[in-house]
Each structure stands twice: as structure tokens, then as C-alpha cells.
Amino acid sequence: MSISYEGQVAIVTGAGNGLGRSHALELAKRGAKVVINDLGGARDGSGGSSAAADEVVALIQKNGGEAFAHGANVAKFDEVQDMVQQTMDKWGRVDILINNAGILRDKTFAKMEIADFQLVMDVHVMGTVNCTKAVWQIMRDQDYGRIVMTTSSSGMYGNFGQANYGAAKMAVLGFMNTLVIEGAKNNIKVNALAPTAATRMTEDLMPQPVLDMLTLEAVTAGALTLCHKDSPNRFILCAGAGGYASTRLFETEGTYLAPEDQTPEGVLANFDEISDTSKQCEYQAGSGQGEKFLGKAMAFLKSQATAEA
């Protein structure tokens, strides 16, 4: 099956360099009209320049595509709103949003300033929220939307020196999980990409031979899988060096403890059963957990009533 984006409009944040640039170029190559969002700052978020975004626009136009650049700081909602309004004025719709913009301010938590934690959260979390909020009603009104969050193994599994980045990248998954539920009736699908690629964010973390294997194109193939019309929903796709996998959150079946055993000692004594993965399941909403626990409690009460009868 050939994947095409003809007639669709996409916004890609952080699209002046690295993965965002790669995503934008491939979307345009496959027919999408693309907004190239990039503040043009350094890896730590400082500074700003339109040069990188303008270069991507020029390249798309040279190849016969349509694109324009916008330097909105994704952490500022009014600037994001302006970008989306310009998109609507020019093309009349928004089909795809790829939340890719990000910065790094790596330090161990002991040495990290709170300001560095806050800024990373503002860009990754509130940047994602701001862009998604700005297009959400548009997608609802047109009964179509595809949104890609960018998460990270640093959030899902942890990484030394990245408490701020890891917290932010896990937060966007919680955001995704609720948007999936709320967007379902309007054909809005929300997925997450966990990339490993050679970019400004990783260039000094790995040796060159390893970086050479971590191509941008391999990750972009995953990104475009998550935002086409037949995309999955609520899917975390991990991509890097030509490898692809999914990460999913499961919960064990667990156990029920009688009221007299609902103590720290009782919980500890039943840890093997609590941790048993043989009957684990994936919930599609937080209510599933509550329903399971209430079901176990009601079954206990029923068994007691039967025993006393």
C-alpha cells in the first residue's frame, strides 16, 4: 500500500533541523502542504533564527511542494495560535500535527537548577499541549485529525542526567491517553513516536559509527506511519537504526485482600500474587482499573454473604 498525503495539511514543530526537518520533507514529498515551525534556537533552547526553517521551505518549494515557515515558540500559546490561524487562512484545514519540538538541559538532578527543569517541561509538555489545543477544535469540526506525540526511552525507562527530559516525555503519553478517548468520536487519532536518531540532541552522546546507523529517515518512516489516514490509535512506536518496536503499559490481575489484611504487612505478604504477570492486561481507560478492583471487592462480599447464609 502506497501512503499519500495529497490534499492534507501538516504542521511539524521543530522542523528546521533533525527529525522535524526529515518528517516535514517526507510529508511534502508525499503531497502534504507543510507548516515548518521552528524557533531556531540552540539545543538548550537559547537564541533564535528563521534561517533553518526558511531553508526547509525553500527545499520543499524547489521540489514542487507547498510550505511556509513560522517561528512560533511552542511554549507560548498566543504565538502557536497565530501559526495555526495563518495555516487556516492559507489552506483552510489542519489534518496532521507532529509535536516534535524539544530542547535538552541535561544534568544530574542534584546539580539541576529548577529553572532548567521548568524550561524543559514548558517546551516539551506545554509546547505539545499548546499546539494540540490550537488544532483540536479544527480537527473536531472537520471530523478528522492525526496527532503524533514525541516521547522517549528516557521517559519510559529512565536515563542518567535526564530527570527533566524524562519527566516531560512520560507526561506526553498521559496526555495522549486521554486525547485518544476524547477524540475518538471525531476520527482524531493520537499516537506517540519514541525515536533514536543522530540529531543535535544526540550528537555528543554516542560515537560516530553508531550515529551513522541512526538515520533520520528510519525514524521518519515510523512518524509517517502514525499520522496517515489508516494509522493505528494510542500506539507507542519505537524506531531507530532500522529497528521498530512497540511499548505498551500493562497491569497485572493482582489480588484482593480482606479488610483485616489491608495493611502494609498484608500487601507485602502478597507481593508475589500482586506482581504475577500471567494474567496482565492493557486498559483502554483508567476506569478499567477501578472496575477490576470493585469487582474483586464485590465478589469477596458475595462470598461472605453466601458463607453466612
Q: Which residues pair with 10 in a beta bridge?
A: 34, 96
- For the question of residue 165 being annotated catalytic, the response is yes
Do residues 236 and 248 lie in contact, with contact meaning Cβ atoms separated by under 8 Å? yes
Nine-digit cell at 75? Answer: 511554549
Render the chain in DSSP notation, one character per residue: -----TT-EEEEETTTSHHHHHHHHHHHHTT-EEEEE-----TTS----SHHHHHHHHHHHHTT--EEEE---TT-HHHHHHHHHHHHHHHS---EEE--------B-TTT--HHHHHHHHIIIIIHHHHHHHHHHHHHHHHT-EEEEEE--HHHHH--TTBHHHHHHHHHHHHHHHHHHHHHGGGTEEEEEEEEE--STTTTTTS-HHHHHHS-HHHHHHHHHHSSSTT--SS-EEEEETTEEEEE---B-------GGG-SHHHHHHTHHHHH--TT-B--SSTHHHHHHHHHHHHHHHHHHHHHH-
The active-site residue out of 5, 144, 157, 165 is 165
* Matching residue, cell 533553518: 52
Where in the sequence numbering do the catalytic residues fall?
165
